[in-house]
Structure 1
Amino acid sequence: MRPGLGERGEIRAETAEDTRAFGERLGALLEAGDVVILDGPLGAGKTTMTQGLARGMGVRGRVTSPTFTIAREHRATEPGAPGLIHVDAYRLLGDGGGDPVGALDSLDLESRLDEAAVVAEWGEGLVGQIAGTCLVVHLDRTTAVEEDPDSEARIISWRWEGEDA
């Protein structure tokens, strides 16, 4: 568990920029070896959150969804600072006919945890296997839209999971 974040919590982000700003605050806390799982339906703001994480970590490169590449690596701009590996586990899960754990293993993320944090969209129950502890962040757009159909808000909740949580 990282100081400044707590074991679990929840905030309401009214705009996409608010989502990025929360991600930036979280990104500033990340260290090499950290695994963050972003969970939520299509359009919930997982990539937007990752853009903020990258900004907070100070890594290079434009952050876009890694849907077709499965994983993108963003190198640190400062010597000794962690890089960011952005994974889209949705493609690993596929249609249920493949071996998602084998596909995850082929990315060899474990060997890069000493120099990078891993942020995985759609990774709950899969990517968490590469680290003893991970931070699961859920992005909920449904609740705010049910209250106000014109709302852009997201309810962002987080919790630490695993052996050291």
Structure 2
Amino acid sequence: MFTIKTNQADETEKIGDQLATSLKPNDVILLDGDLGAGKTTFTKGLAKGLGIKRYVKSPTFTIIHEYREGRLPLFHMDVYRLEDGGGDDLGWDEYFYGDGVSVIEWSQFIEEYLPDEYLRITISRNDESDDQRILKFEAQGSRYATLLNDFKKDIK
């Protein structure tokens, strides 16, 4: 586990951009944090790092947005609306074990569907400033422990 502090939204986006260079097919990233913490901002950076040119926005009402034009497809999920269930027929395995990168906002609402291994990033506001964010990275499984270890060395 390690933590990064950013001072503005574009720095949070840049961290996502840098992480994207190390991602592989079937990678799963969980993004946790309060409303407005910066989960979608981070995802915009991931998309940019994967070579996706389309505008990335939160899929709150559609649950899943697919971006297929980059180096790897990006499956951006906002499962907040599944807080009370209802995700049984969304084909989670097709996303998690498909050919792309799955990014899940509000992952606690679909815990029973998540794979055993993933990278969890918790984003929170820093009490010192409205613009500052604290990103806490936690690896679950050997793939993500290696990814995180390499990322720590490469972070600029």
Q: TM-score, normalised by structure 2?
A: 0.82
**Quick one: percent identity of the two aligned structures?**
36
Count, aligned residues: 143
CA contact (8 A) 1:40 1:46 kept: yes
What's the secondary structure of 1:106's corresponding residue? coil
5 Å-filtered alignment, 1:73-112, equals 73-77=66-70, 81-93=71-83, 96=84, 99-100=85-86, 103=87, 105-112=88-95
**How far 1:27 moved relative to its partner?**
1.4
Q: TM-score, normalised by structure 1?
A: 0.78
The runs of 4+ residues in structure 1 deviating greater than 3 Å are 127-130, 162-165
What's the secondary structure of 1:160's corresponding residue? strand
CA contact (8 A) 2:33 2:106 kept: yes
User: Of residues 90, 93, 99 in structure 2, which corresponds to 1:115?
Assistant: 99
Q: Structure 1 residues 87, 127: CA separation in 2 closer, same or farther (over 3 Å shift)? A: farther
5 Å-filtered alignment, 1:1-165, equals 8-77=1-70, 81-93=71-83, 96=84, 99-100=85-86, 103=87, 105-112=88-95, 113-124=97-108, 126=110, 129-141=113-125, 144-145=126-127, 147-148=128-129, 151-162=130-141
List alignment gaps of at least 5 residues for structure 1.
1-7
